[in-house]
């Protein structure tokens, strides 16, 4: 099943609730919320209060992507705010296994995100413990960047690894997803697609979401 997760990073924050409703009505499956701390990535966005506000706006699962250092310090607040999926970066966690258990113990779906230069081996020994892997196909920090082509090989490798270790694992791709890249990403083995600028910078969100779904099947 193809999952489209619009990233609110590219939404109009003066009308966030309406933006979320519009993608929900347009066929979105999850709402992707990009949390940045100005340390792990060179940008600062928002924290638990935006997750809490988004929860009021929609019944769709909230997919919270933590691009922050020492995420374990604030994960409980994101759980309280209503996160349904939480991904942490392998590069940002000294004790990744412990952080993943912390998320899972709260009955929240747990994911590990990998930067473009991080090898697949970073998730090899945690793959059977997690619900999803987030493959960054741009350097995290900003919307609207160009898709990094080597991500395709990386997804293929992860897809082969998951067959042995955790067939139910969802491979999610984040960054530069659009009508030109989505098909190759899907063919490589990803089923969850984060898209920010491709959806929110267009006049008709439903059209964009439908096109991605049409191409990824
Ligand atoms: C980037 C974020 C992405 C971002 C994707 O650091 O993790 O979720 O919103 O934006 P697009 O789809 O415009 O590449
Ligand atoms: Zn993201």
> Which listed residue (29, 34, 63, 131) is catalytic?
34
DSSP one-letter code for 61 = P
Residue of the CA atom closest to atom 6 of ligand 1: 140
Which of 196, 201, 211 maximizes ligand 1 atoms within 8 Å of its Cβ, making it the mutation to test the pocket?
A: 196
What the block records as the tokens of 40 is: 């792990």
Residue 99 pLDDT: 98
Residue of the CA atom closest to atom 4 of ligand 1: 143
168 as an active site residue: the answer is no
Residue 143 pLDDT: 98
Residue 8 pLDDT: 98
> Whole-angstrom Cα distance, residue 108 to residue 58?
17
Give every CB contact of residue 130 below 8 A, 6+ residues apart in sequence: 100, 110, 111, 112, 123, 166, 169
77 as an active site residue: the answer is no
DSSP one-letter code for 76 = H
Is the Cβ–Cβ distance between 67 and 40 less than 8 Å? yes
Per-residue pLDDT of the chain (217 residues; tens, 9 = 90+): 899 999 999 999 999 999 999 999 999 999 999 999 999 999 999 999 999 999 999 999 999 999 999 999 999 999 999 999 999 999 999 999 999 999 999 999 999 999 999 999 999 999 999 999 999 999 999 999 999 999 999 999 999 999 999 999 999 999 999 999 999 999 999 999 999 999 999 999 999 999 999 999 9
Smallest CA-to-CA distance from 129 within 165, 95, 155, 182 is with: 165
Instruction: Say how many Å lie between the CA of residue 126 and the centre of ligand 1.
Output: 24
């Amino acid at each position: 099943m193809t999952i489209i997760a619009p990233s609110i990073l590219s939404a109009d924050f003066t009308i966030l609730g309406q933006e979320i409703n519009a993608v929900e009505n347009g066929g979105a499956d999850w709402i992707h919320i990009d949390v940045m701390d100005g340390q792990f990535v060179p940008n600062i966005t928002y924290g638990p209060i935006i997750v809490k506000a988004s929860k009021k706006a929609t019944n769709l699962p909230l997919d919270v992507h933590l691009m922050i250092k020492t995420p374990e310090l604030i994960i409980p607040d994101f759980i309280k705010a209503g996160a349904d999926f939480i991904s942490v970066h392998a590069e940002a966690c000294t004790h990744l296994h412990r952080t993943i258990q912390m998320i899972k113990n709260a009955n929240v779906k747990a994911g590990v995100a990998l930067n473009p230069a991080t090898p697949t081996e970073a998730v090899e020994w945690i793959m059977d413990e997690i619900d999803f892997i987030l493959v960054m196909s741009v350097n995290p920090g900003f919307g609207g960047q160009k898709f990094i082509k080597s991500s395709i090989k990386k997804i293929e490798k992860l897809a082969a690894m998951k067959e042995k270790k955790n067939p139910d694992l969802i491979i999610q791709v984040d960054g530069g997803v659009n009508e030109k890249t989505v098909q190759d990403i899907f063919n490589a083995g990803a089923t969850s697609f984060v898209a920010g600028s491709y959806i929110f910078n267009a006049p008709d969100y439903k059209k964009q979401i439908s096109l991605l779904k049409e191409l990824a099947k």
